[in-house]
Amino acid sequence: MVAVVPLRDGTSGKSRLAHVLDPDARSRLVAVLARHVVSTLLASGAVERVVVVTSDPRFAWRALQDLVVHAASGGDDGPHLRTDDADRLRIVLQPADRPGLDTAVDVGREIAAEDGPVRVLVAHADLPALTTDDVAALLAADPPVVVATDRHRSGTNLLVLDLIAAPFRTRFGADSLAAHLAEAAAHGLRSVVVQRPGTATDLDTVDDWGELPARVRAAVGQHVPGLHDATPGPQDRSASGGTR
């Protein structure tokens, strides 16, 4: 089982929080959220490898490197020791001529398949409440297509595609839950929808922030204090929680 994590870059994402967070704070938020998702995946026994597909590998490496590398005891400037996890994390450049979220997922799926057909878990990099139990629950589901939807039951935050789901094309974006169920049906693939507290809240808006458990807000807010007194903007009042 290989996990594919699309991660845009450190500057252009989280635009729906731009009215409450400056660019530095948004960049910190993207890093903190990505660290949480990738470390949860690495801690999940069934996940052999995590492939992060990004247009900014330097940003991704800075955000994620200490999940798999730690400083040698000889001092701060000493050589770095690679942990057993080092080979389980791969950060891959999304080619500039292959832009977009679905294409990032395609790049990850191609890399996942390099060693042969493999079951893939696509996980967005902005799920602050994701737990290893959530990952285990998604992987325990039987159908070849497992869609973990958002709290509005309209989008897709994680997606499991079994070996036989190779022809399945992802359709992330507005109303992607319906699009993914239709895609599965078009290929005669059984599918199931999962909605759990840890998989349903992607942090895109101030309303999403308010939905998170206090312990999750405390953990994220430690790095991005501006979120604690954030007030909703116009983008927080639509049913989808977004501007699309």
Ligand X SMILES: Nc1nc2c(ncn2[C@@H]2O[C@H](COP(=O)(O)OP(=O)(O)OP(=O)(O)O)[C@@H](O)[C@H]2O)c(=O)[nH]1
Using alpha carbons, list the distances in angstroms from residue 207 to 22, 69, 87, 230, 243. 18, 35, 37, 10, 13
By CB atoms closer than 10 A (0-12, 13-18, 19+), residue 36 is buried
Q: Which residue from 27, 54, 156, 235 is in contact with ligand PEP, where contact means CB under 6 A?
A: 156
Instruction: Catalogue the E-assigned strands of the chain.
Output: 2-7, 49-54, 69-71, 80-82, 89-93, 120-123, 145-149, 156-161, 191-194
Residues 42 to 101: which contact ligand X by CB under 6 A? 53-55, 94, 99-101
Closer to ligand PEP at the Cβ: 68 or 220? 220
What radius of gyration, in Å, describes the C-alpha atoms of the chain? 18
Q: Nearest CA to 14 among 164, 229, 190, 209?
A: 209
- What, of ligand PEP, ligand X, none, does residue 156 touch, CB below 5 to 8 Å by kind? ligand PEP
Per-residue binding letters, 73-112, with ligand PEP (x by CB under 6 A): ----------------------------x-----------
Residue bearing tokens 């958002």: 150
- Total residues contacting ligand PEP by CB under 6 A comes to 11
Q: Does 235 bind ligand X (CB under 6 A)?
A: no
What's the min distance (Å) between Cβ of 145 and ligand PEP? 14
Query: Is residue 202 a contact residue for ligand PEP (CB under 6 A)?
Result: yes
Pick the closest to residue 161 from 123, 131, 127 (CA basis).
123
Per CB under 6 A, residues contacting ligand PEP are 101, 124, 150, 155-156, 172-173, 176, 202, 204, 242
Per CB under 6 A, residues contacting ligand X are 6-8, 13-16, 53-55, 94, 99-101, 104, 124-126, 202, 204
